[in-house]
């Protein structure tokens, strides 16, 4: 199939028409997501991500994962239950409670959000962390959340990003800390123009010419793998494809696309990945060739092999989670506006801290240091 045929989805009609009802519903959903995020962050972050972290990074992360995992659960609820997007999982079954490195292709700006649908099913929603553009860390409210959840900010400059990756990833080496570290080795989302540039580079340098993915960048992947190898259970090769067309953030908010999200998973035991950088580069290139072939088959057949590896989300559980988040944030919002002045002072100081900490990428360190002698001790503190 020609590249232009495979990618020419922008001219397609949306799966659902953009009606006034969908616009109103989307605005309400976005307002709920923003307001609940703001309330959760300003009230819980100072305690969970600052005060508790002074005593224990491990327990601080557990509390943050639990509290903000509840809020993150609103997104899969929006996608699958409100927007009625069908998320289809295929490939290998993902066992829960593993420490893993996920690497995925990058079709569009919202790929990373659909990985929350998988993490929620595994009880690992609060444990997922991303390497993402530094500019996103400076978004009001959402950027604060990315910081609290310890996402790794990148400027897409190797000489700047590699030390940041190594410094932050080295704090994730404690095997007692659950971890789903996620990266997109292509480094940017897929477009026809970027694909042509990638193909030209591949031709000039004797590399595989890929049709549905860009050539992967090795440095970030290898840095993460090198530091975490001894504490990981596996690497998950995740391939994402969309029915109808690739969605934007607003498509998700208004529920007009996508009709289906297909997520194929291949589990790779950590010992099967070469340790040397040169061999790891060859392995990653071969992996992306397999991913490219898988996407070509998806375009031709409309599905990945071995579908149905994960069950649908429970509507009842989603509603319970939604009700709990709304109830708690509603109560805290009432205290903010209608209670003592101390609540308003607390909110103001919390906002000031979150804005500055996210901008400067600052996190408190345990006051007492590390008292045990385990090999990850110095790194995780």
pLDDT of 370 strictly over 80? no
Q: What is the mean pLDDT of residues 82-99?
A: 91
Q: What is the pLDDT of residues 196-213, one digit of tens each?
A: 999 999 999 999 999 999
The shares of helix, strand and coil residues in the chain, as percent rounded to the nearest 5, are 55, 10, 30
- What gap in Å lies between CA 46 and CA 75, rounded to an integer? 24
Q: How many residues does the chain have?
A: 381
Sign of CA dihedral 19, 21, 24, 30: negative
Q: What is the pLDDT of residues 326-353, one digit of tens each?
A: 999 999 999 888 888 888 899 999 999 9
Please give the pLDDT value at position 364.
87
Please give the pLDDT value at position 106.
95
Please give the pLDDT value at position 157.
83
Give the residue among 359, 336, 348 at the shortest CA–CA distance from 144. Answer: 359
pLDDT of 141 strictly over 70? yes
- What gap in Å lies between CA 258 and CA 124, rounded to an integer? 24
- What gap in Å lies between CA 21 and CA 93, rounded to an integer? 38
Q: What is the pLDDT of residues 314-333, one digit of tens each?
A: 999 999 999 999 999 999 99
Q: How far apart, in Å, do the first and last CA atoms of the chain sit?
A: 51
Residue 373 φ then ψ, to 5°:
-110, 20
Query: Does pTM surpass 0.85?
Result: yes
Domains and CATH numbers, the chain: 86-311 (3.40.1130)
- What gap in Å lies between CA 259 and CA 246, rounded to an integer? 10
The helix (H) or strand (E) run that includes residue 338 is helix 315-338
Q: What is the pLDDT of residues 230-276, one digit of tens each?
A: 999 999 999 999 987 889 999 999 999 999 999 999 999 999 999 99
């Amino acid at each position: 199939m020609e590249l232009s045929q495979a990618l020419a989805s922008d001219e397609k009609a949306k799966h659902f028409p953009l009606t006034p009802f969908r616009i109103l519903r989307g605005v309400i959903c976005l307002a709920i997501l923003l307001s609940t995020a703001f309330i959760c962050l300003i009230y819980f972050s100072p305690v969970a991500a600052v005060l508790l972290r002074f005593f224990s990074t491990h327990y601080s992360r557990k509390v943050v994962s639990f509290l903000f995992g509840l809020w993150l659960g609103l997104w899969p609820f929006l996608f699958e239950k409100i927007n009625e997007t069908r998320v289809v999982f295929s490939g290998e079954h993902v066992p829960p409670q593993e420490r893993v490195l996920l690497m995925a292709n990058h079709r569009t700006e919202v790929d990373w959000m659909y990985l929350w649908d998988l993490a929620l099913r595994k009880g690992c929603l609060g444990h997922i962390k991303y390497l993402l553009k530094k500019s996103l860390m400076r978004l009001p409210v959402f950027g604060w959340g990315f910081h609290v959840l310890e996402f790794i900010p990148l400027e897409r400059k190797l000489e700047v990003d590699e030390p940041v990756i190594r410094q932050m990833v080295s704090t994730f080496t404690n095997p007692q800390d659950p971890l789903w570290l996620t990266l997109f080795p292509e480094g940017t989302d897929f477009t026809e123009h970027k694909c042509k540039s990638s193909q030209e580079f591949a031709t000039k340098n004797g590399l595989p010419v890929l049709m549905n993915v860009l050539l992967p960048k090795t440095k970030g992947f290898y840095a993460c793998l090198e530091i975490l190898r001894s504490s990981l259970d596996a690497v998950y090769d995740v391939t994402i494809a969309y029915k109808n067309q690739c969605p934007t953030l607003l498509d998700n908010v208004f529920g007009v696309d996508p009709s289906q999200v297909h997520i194929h998973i291949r589990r790779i035991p950590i010992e099967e990945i070469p340790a040397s950088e040169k061999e790891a580069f060859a392995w990653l290139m071969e992996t992306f060739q397999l991913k490219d072939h898988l996407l070509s088959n998806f375009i031709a057949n409309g599905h990945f092999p071995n579908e149905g590896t994960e069950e649908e989300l429970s509507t009842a559980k989603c509603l319970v989670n939604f009700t709990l988040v709304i109830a708690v944030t509603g109560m805290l919002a009432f205290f903010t506006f209608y209670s003592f002045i101390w609540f308003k002072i607390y909110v103001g100081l919390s906002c000031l801290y979150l804005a500055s900490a996210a901008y400067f990428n600052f996190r408190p360190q345990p006051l007492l240091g590390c008292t045990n002698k385990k090999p990850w001790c110095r790194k995780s503190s």
